[in-house]
């Protein structure tokens, strides 16, 4: 039975989800314990909300946010500066064929949730929902 190579319109595979969650946990633990040799990064509390992995598992995009939301731009720069060390830690702890290239983005999930709440709280929307 031939595998369908084009996965257009479908979400990530179970393998991508599993590897993404393993990377998320490893990144969270590493940052929480301060295992990175950068005092600026170790001084920050970081939330790793999600990690999305490419289909070939060679690129992992981590969605992060500093605790309290302050210093977001600094956080992305610090993580990018320490990307190589973080990649080595992940490669050492996870049994993957290749340690994925790490990319860091700000996690906007909380902003989107706030905007959704704001929209749902509008009188016109509430009237439509109550009917």
pLDDT digits (tens, 9 = 90+) for 17-73: 999 999 999 999 999 998 889 998 888 889 999 999 999 999 999 999 988 777 788
The pTM of this model reads 0.75
Say yes or no to pLDDT of 6 above 60: no
Tokens of 55: 């289909």
Element (H, E) at 89: helix 83-93
Is there a domain that residue 123 lies in? yes
| Domain tally, the chain | 1
46-53 and 59-66 as β-strands: parallel, antiparallel, unpaired? antiparallel
The per-residue DSSP string of 33-83 comes to HT-SS-HHHHTS-EEEEEEEE-TTSSEEEEEEEEGGGTTHHHHHHHHHHTH
- Does the residue 55 lie in any domain? yes
Task: Give the span between the Cα atoms of 6 and 9, in whole angstroms.
Answer: 9
Show the domain range for 102: 14-130
Q: What is the pLDDT of residues 113-131, one digit of tens each?
A: 666 666 677 677 667 667 6
Q: Is residue 1 part of a domain?
A: no
**3 within a domain of the structure (yes/no):** no
- Tell me, yes or no, whether 6 lies in a domain: no
Q: What is the pLDDT of residue 131?
A: 63
pLDDT of residue 113: 61
Residue 107 lies in a domain: yes
Question: Is residue 61 a part of any domain in this protein?
Answer: yes
C-alpha 112: how far from chain center = 15
Q: With 80 as the cut, is the pLDDT of residue 112 above it?
A: no
Whether 59 is in a domain gets the answer yes
Looking at per-residue pLDDT, the higher value among 17 and 11 belongs to 17
CATH of the domain at 86: 3.30.300.20
- What pLDDT is stored for residue 70 in this prediction? 74
Asked if residue 98 has pLDDT above 70, the reply is yes
For residue 9, is pLDDT > 70? no
* Per-residue pLDDT at 1: 43
- Cα-based distances in Å from 99 to 38, 46, 83, 115, 118: 21, 21, 11, 36, 41
Terminal C-alpha separation, the chain: 51
């Amino acid at each position: 039975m031939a595998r369908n190579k084009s996965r257009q319109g479908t979400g990530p595979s179970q393998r991508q989800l599993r590897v993404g969650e393993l990377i998320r946990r490893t990144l969270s633990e590493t940052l929480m314990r301060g295992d990175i040799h950068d005092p600026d990064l170790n001084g920050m509390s970081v939330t790793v909300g999600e990690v999305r992995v490419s289909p070939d598992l060679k690129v992992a995009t981590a969605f992060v946010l500093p605790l309290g939301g302050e210093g977001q731009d600094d956080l992305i720069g610090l993580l990018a500066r320490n990307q190589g060390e973080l990649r080595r830690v992940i490669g050492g702890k996870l049994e993957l064929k290749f340690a994925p290239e790490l990319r860091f983005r700000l996690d906007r999930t909380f902003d989107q949730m706030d905007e959704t709440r704001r929209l749902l709280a509008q009188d016109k929307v509430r009237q439509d929902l109550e009917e």
